[in-house]
Amino acid sequence: MPPWACQDKNTQGVDGVQGPCTRRGLVLLLVGLWPGLAAAQPVPAPPVSPADLKAAYLVRFSGFVEWPTPTPPVLVLAVAGAPEVAAALQHHAAGRQAGGPELATRAVRTGDPVDDVHLLFVGGPRSYAESWAMRLQGRPVLLVTDVPEGLPEGSAINFVHVGERLRFEVSLRALERARLRASARLLGVAVKVVE
């Protein structure tokens, strides 16, 4: 029988209630637990998924790019070929503002109209990213991809992995073709800026 349990089951328990545990037993129990409570480590935060990280970046990108004037009251951030990023983006953009404009999100597929889209993230194979880059040529849309060597394919921003970290590279030429300007702060944290 544990030391905090009463030998006599008829002994008064905590607050006068009949039971096997007395005040003395409850104190012994708490004192016995105290070292474990004192040594308890904080619970680490769950790891951030790649989709969540990309979505957070996309929201940040929208605040560091200048669209042709006038600045639209609502910036539409779209995702093609990456449903998990689309879901995470919806969560990250909800209630957020990027330097003024409201953010709206949606998933798009090949053939969907994108006339009102300001930022498009394209996941999937290289050929899919290439087809979107050709379709958006000359439009003021920030094209973001995550394919190896994505900048030469026409994307303005391309995600890259540096060690275990997700970083990004920027193409000034693609930004210029889209009539967009990236802030110096965005360019300053890019792992590579292609002239």
What is the residue-level pLDDT of the chain in tens, covering all 195 positions? Answer: 444 444 544 444 444 444 445 555 444 444 454 454 445 556 666 677 899 999 999 999 988 999 887 777 889 999 999 999 999 999 888 866 545 678 999 999 988 999 999 999 999 888 888 999 999 988 999 999 998 877 887 899 999 999 889 999 999 999 999 999 999 999 999 999 998
Residues 74 and 150: their CA atoms lie apart, in Å, by 27
Tell me the C-alpha distance between 146 and 167, whole Å: 10
What ranges in 66-177 are assigned the alpha helix state H? 83-93, 126-135, 172-177
**pTM for this structure?**
0.74
**CA–CA gap between residue 169 and residue 61 (Å, rounded):** 12
